[in-house]
Amino acid sequence: MSQWKLYPPLKKREKFRFPWLPILLIYIVVIVVAVLIRALSWPDNKPVEDIFFLQSVVVPFVIITTCLCYAGMFLSVEGYYYDVKRQCVEWDLYYLKKFSQRRLVIVGYTSVAPVDNLAVQLLKLEGKFPLAPKTPLRIKMAERFEVTKSQYIFNQLIETLADKIIKYPEVEVFYWLREGDNTTTEELRRVLDEHGLKFKNEITQLCECPDYSVLAAMIEESGNQWQYSRLIIIADLYNDETVNSMESATALFICKEYPVNEKPKPVYLYQPLTGDADLADSVPVYLAGEQTTAPKILWHTGLAQTEKYPLLNALNECKVAAERIDLELAFGEYTAGYRWLALAVASDAARYGQCF
């Protein structure tokens, strides 16, 4: 069974009420008629014997009772079938909620982009909502920073998260850098060393920008491990100045457990909805999982019209996500890094009480 599919809802079965009065009338009418017929056919001058009552009362009574028992048997089978279907629906929903409420913790997140305070501006809490034609596309390096651009970006990301990451020595590091090569791994390692972060695990360079299915895999993996922590870095940088997409870099530090009293409070990362083209049917099921409170804002990027409109219609029918933030509208043409930037920005928005 697909994780985001459910049995169709059952129509409420009408409560069965045993028709005592009609059945009593049937008994009376049939027995009275049987007695009259037997009385008219009884030989003259013959005394009434036990056979009279057997034929006119007992036999009709037995026939009617047998018919009612058969009818009741079929009604019981129908009721049993309905109860089994209802139990299957309830178990299906139970397992859906159990699956969808599995989660990881985003202990820390940070992003680097040409626009500062993205969450605040996109939520229109301060400043103006950025629009693609006016939004800067390239990240500017600080003056007198004699390092490569990728190393500068790595430093900006790690500097914010170093205090949190240092508490977890078993961190696995995964990163993707557009047009990166073997030297970028050494650059990242050098930046980590500068911040006192020395890990036993190797740094893994991804050949392509991952999608959210990797998050689902991480949640699955975390269930089999006592300690689970992973640092994901997505650096979407361009050497080609003619590209109309905004550069961005995002770092997410994700783990399985997190101290409850730690401040600031973490952001919980639940099971993502991935690999399902039938959004009109799967989104209501996804929301039925009750991962968290009803979403108020939908952050979306990279959706084709065949995906966007079914998604919006499904959310409208469920009366959730009244506000929508389209990242392409704010940042320019879609790029693979936007989905991770959206996750970091939406996590930041959750800190402002803007559920997503």
Say if residue 281's pLDDT is above 60: yes
Say if residue 294's pLDDT is above 90: no
Which residues, other chains included, contact 269 with Cβ-Cβ below 8 Å and sequence gap of 6+? 103, 104, 105, 106, 215, 219, 254
Chain position carrying tokens 């069974």: 1
Measured distance CA(202)–CA(138) in Å, rounded: 30
Q: Do the beta carbons of residue 299 and residue 196 sit within 8 Å?
A: no
Region 190-208 average pLDDT:
87
Beta pairing class for 203-205 and 103-112 = unpaired
Region 325-331 average pLDDT:
89
Using CB atoms within 10 Å of the CB of residue 16, give its burial: 0 to 12 exposed, 13 to 18 middle, 19+ buried.
Answer: exposed
Task: Say what the pLDDT of residue 339 is.
Answer: 93
Measured distance CA(310)–CA(23) in Å, rounded: 53
Q: What are residue 205's phi and psi, to 5 degrees?
A: -95, 125
Q: How many CB atoms are located within 10 Å of the residue 279 CB?
A: 22
Q: How many residues does the chain have?
A: 356
Task: Say what the pLDDT of residue 39 is.
Answer: 81
Measured distance CA(132)–CA(328) in Å, rounded: 7
Q: pLDDT class for 261, splitting at 50, 70, 90?
A: low
pLDDT tens for each residue of 120-171: 888 888 878 888 888 888 888 876 567 888 899 999 999 999 988 888 878 8
Query: Which has the closest alpha carbon to 253: 347, 150, 356, 355?
Result: 347
Measured distance CA(164)–CA(158) in Å, rounded: 10
Say if residue 64's pLDDT is above 80: yes
pLDDT tens for each residue of 27-41: 888 888 888 887 887
Q: Do the beta carbons of residue 261 and residue 102 sit within 8 Å?
A: no
Please give the biggest Cα pair distance in the chain.
132
SS3 112: strand
Task: Say what the pLDDT of residue 123 is.
Answer: 84
pLDDT tens for each residue of 200-219: 778 899 989 999 999 999 99
